[in-house]
Amino acid sequence: MPALAFHRDDSLPFLEAKQCRANDLAYHKHFHEEYSIGLIDEGETNAWCDGQQLRVEAGRLISFPPLMMHACHPLESQEWKYKMLFIKPEWFQGLKQRELDQLSIPYLLEDGKNKACRLQINRTMEALASKGTPLEIESALIELIQALVSQNASDLEHEPQGKQDQKYVKLIKEYLHAHFSEKVTLEELEREAGISRFHLVRLFKKWSHLPPHAYQLLLRINHAKTELAMQRPIADVAAEVGFYDQSHFARAFVKIVGATPQKYALSI
């Protein structure tokens, strides 16, 4: 990884990610106009947050609401590696007020929540850095935010269930089936279902046991299997189902089928 890298996706203008590796980089007092969430991967830093001094060790998340003044000074003689997500405030429309209030509180998280959020920030960063689909990136980001604002891990299991929920999920599935090879975004699914993207991801995962992007990926791979069985060229099939990078297609195919596209085609 380079010493400093930024990651963006044109389909997600509200989001920017930053990865940094350095041992002599300190940030003086400043603020961001975005909501920012960071994870220290290596080293430690002394953080000043709106007048409060904090020590942030490797493996810990720290977050800053928009316009909050803060500064970071990593410990000397230590390798310092961290990642940050910057999210524009308007993206959070659709969250309940209670959840918005939660976002303004945590600088550092307790251990259980920190572990869950660390997993999700890494998934979001990996999806963005590896140029995953907009649906994959934003779904991971929403799961990170939901982990941040939830009171406990079982919050989502106790939501009321009903036929209306299943109606929303049915609409989303129908749209994904009709557009599985396209670069679908959560904004499109939000318009189709008529509910916020935060509620949408939560409902879809509860009733389908997968987030929307993973469901779309299954549709792509299943269609690809049918086409490969007809001995069509792998590159053509990859492009047809929405993979413009053949190596990315091969990796996704192996994870679901257990064999490369070539081995699958030759076994028919």
pLDDT of 154 reads: 44
If you ran DSSP here, which 8-state letter would residue 228 be given?
Answer: H
| pLDDT given for residue 47 in this prediction | 85
CA distance 78 to 81: 10
Q: Are 80 and 118 in contact (CB under 8 A)?
A: no
Which pLDDT score, from 0 to 100, does residue 161 have?
55
3-state secondary structure of 71: strand
Across the 268 residues of the chain, what is the mean pLDDT of every consecutive 10-residue run?
85 94 71 92 87 88 88 79 93 80 69 89 94 94 89 48 81 96 95 92 92 95 95 95 91 94 89
Neighbours of 141 (CB within 10 A): 28
Are β-strands 61-64 and 15-22 bridged in parallel, bridged antiparallel, or unpaired?
unpaired
Residue 72: the pLDDT is: 83
Greatest Cα pair distance in the chain? 66
**Bridge partner residues of 62 (DSSP):** 38, 108
Q: Is 126 helix (H, G, I), strand (E, B) or coil?
A: helix
Residue 77 has what pLDDT?
Answer: 67
Question: Strand, helix or coil at 231?
Answer: coil
pTM of the model: 0.85
Query: What token pair was written down for 80?
Result: 């310092």
Return d(Cα 141, Cα 168) in angstroms, integer: 21
**What stretch of H or E contains 129?**
helix 111-129
Please say whether the beta carbons of 223 and 176 come within 8 A: no
3-state helix, strand, coil in the chain (%, to 5): 50, 20, 30
